[in-house]
Each structure stands twice: as C-alpha cells, then as structure tokens.
Amino acid sequence: MAANDAALEALLVNVTGQIARVFCAGTKTGLVVPGASRAGIEAVLSSAVEPGDRVLVGAFGHFGELLCTLASRHGAVVERLDADWGIPVDARELAAAIRASRPKLVAVVHADTSTGIVQPLETIGQACNESGALFVVDAVLSLGGCELRVDDWGIDAAVGGMQKCLGGPPGLALLAVSERLLATVRARRTPPRSAYLDLHRISRQPAAAASTSMLFAAHAALGMIEAEGLQARWARHQVAGRAVAAGLQAMGLQLFGDRDHAAPMITLVRVPDGISEPGVREQLLAEHGVEIMAAFGPLRGKVWRIGCMGVNARLTSVLHVLGALEAVLTTQGWQVRRGAGVDAARSASLDSEATAAVDPNRPA
C-alpha cells in the first residue's frame, strides 16, 4: 500500500497517539525509529549522552549489558549497579546511588528477556526526578505484556519493540520521550555521533524518519492492543504466564529466578540433569513445531526460556507447548505423569483468570 504525504502524516499522528496511550505516556512525545528495537535505545542514549557524561545502569541480565555497551560506545562514563541473574536490582539501593552520585542519566531494563525478571521502576523514577537525572527504560519485552506506566513512574524515555508482546513484525522501535529529554538533546554542545539516530532530527522530521510499511504494521499491532484493552492485555499475559509456570512445576521441573518478580511473558525453567538442552529444543521444533529458546551467558545450557507473548499468551498455546514438552521429555527418560502439565496449567489459568493482579480501578 502506498501512502502520499498527507496520508503518511495522518498515519504518523495516529501511531504516535497510540504510542502515548499504550505506554501510559500522555505527557510524552511518541516517536518511531526504523530498525531493530535497539536502534530506538541507541537513539535515546546516543542523543542524550555527550562524551564524559556519567550514566548509571542497573543491570540484571543480558539487556542491561546492552545498555552499558551502547552508553559507553557513545562516550559515557558508565557506572553500574548489578544484581545476580534471576533477581531484579535492589530499587532502593539504586535510588540511593542515584541521589548520592547524581548521574546525568539512569538506564534500566524493565523486563529482561534473558532472565525473565521484571524490575520495579517507580522508586528509581522518583530518585531520578528528585536528583535531575534522566530516566531511560528498555521496555522492549514489557510493552503490551505487563503494567508499564511511563508518566506515573517518572520515565523520560521508554523504548518498545514490535516483535514481543505486540505480536508484530520486527523492524520499528517505538518511543515515548519527555520534553526534558528532548530539551537535553537540543542543548548538546556537540552533535551526536550518529546522524541517523539523532533524536533531534527524528523529533523534528518524524515523517522523514518513518518507514511507511512498518508504520502500517505498528498501527495494526497497537490498534489490536487498544481494541482488547490495555488492562485486559496485561491480565491475559499474566494468566498465561501463571499457567506456564504451574504446568512446568507439575511436570517436576524447577523454575529459574525470583518468582515474586517473574515476567509473565517469558518463563525460564532449569534443564534437568541428564537431559540434553539443545536436544529437547530440536526435538520440540522438529516433531511438534514448537520453538523454545536457549539461554544467554551464564545460563546457557542450564535453562530453557519459554516465551508466551502477544497472540500466544493464551491457554491454547500454553497447553500445546506443555503437552509437546511432556512428550519430548518422556522420550528422553524424564519421569512425568502423563497430562500433569496441561492439567495444572488449565487449573491455574481458570483460577488466575479471576484474580489477575491488575488493579481494575486504575485507568490504563
């Protein structure tokens, strides 16, 4: 489908409005950056950071490392507060570090796909706002899958992607950006090193920076979220995530990570002793058409990651994956009562549909 200038402008206005609503970011500017989601993160960091600026990263997984890499590539002096993989960063400790060291910018991943952990953000946002630091959040996994409130949580820039809980094609980063961050970009002493990812250019000429085909895709994906309702969408992911966890546990498998901060949209489960980690993934794909993921870094070979995002965050998909996993594990010698996983997942889904922990009184 082609789009003339006026139609493109109208589409862009529509999409940026949708971004503001789906990020719960009514006071922010919605922007798009063509490319992988990390192009959006790099646009924010490379535009807001000048060489020598201090950036504090709260890191608890692979994508926290990415924030450190991107910030340092663009000349930041990176300070970091790390948490072990499997738990979030201690938000109060990070808030204290922000107040004590007053960095220019603080960057955190909201939900890290490598560990399946969600980072509480509100306390960190308060500390940033009090100390004048810009607060940048990677919401690539969390957007559309769990509660994310950019305005309420004091976030200056949040970056989402299309291919996770939006269920869209990869190729466009979605951004909600504060005026405070854009003013910082405008006030730079030197232009950013990247011309393509310059947020000043992107915010001044959004149509020139847009990719028309991806805008149509974003419009459709965000529109599906709005039609479903943001709260309902978060709740659906939560119900599906609980069902996956219950099913895996009923099969005698051990979940990885702090369950109080578990992301509903991806569940990490330990590979039992004596079972081939790649062998199970390969057999699942070949025999059942189900793809689960290997892990990154220190978890590689030790856990599987089971994604349950977008259209797949529903009982049908959960039961399909668990039934297939049970069949494959059984052929590999794992002892499990037939049907234990799907039975538990089904019950958990019915139980948690009633109690999905999204506050129904808060407007999305």
317 contributes a contact to ligand PLP by CB under 6 A? no
- CA angle in degrees (0–180, nearest 5) for 54-60-65: 55
8 contributes a contact to ligand PLP by CB under 6 A? no
Q: Which residue lies nearer to ligand PLP by CB, 84 or 179?
A: 84
CB of residue 105 to ligand PLP, shortest distance in Å: 17
CB of residue 237 to ligand PLP, shortest distance in Å: 15
Among 133, 141, 175, 176, binds ligand PLP (CB under 6 A): 141
Distance CA 108, CA 136 (A): 7
Q: In this chain, which stretch among 138-146, 185-193, 204-212, 310-318 interacts with ligand PLP, using CB under 6 A?
A: 138-146
3-state secondary structure string, 28-86?
CEEEEEECCHHHHHHHHHHHHCCCCCEEEEEECCHHHHHHHHHHHHCCCEEEEEECCCC
170 contributes a contact to ligand PLP by CB under 6 A? yes
**Separation of first and last alpha carbons in the chain:** 32
Q: Which residue lies nearer to ligand PLP by CB, 293 or 327?
A: 293
249 contributes a contact to ligand PLP by CB under 6 A? no
115 contributes a contact to ligand PLP by CB under 6 A? no
Distance CA 264, CA 244 (A): 9
Among 18, 113, 115, 123, binds ligand PLP (CB under 6 A): 113
138 contributes a contact to ligand PLP by CB under 6 A? yes
| Cβ–Cβ < 8 Å for 301, 271 | yes
Distance CA 249, CA 243 (A): 10
Bridge-based pairing state of the strands 134-138 and 157-161: parallel
Give the interface with ligand PLP as residue ranges (CB under 6 A): 36-38, 63, 109, 112-113, 138, 140-141, 161, 170
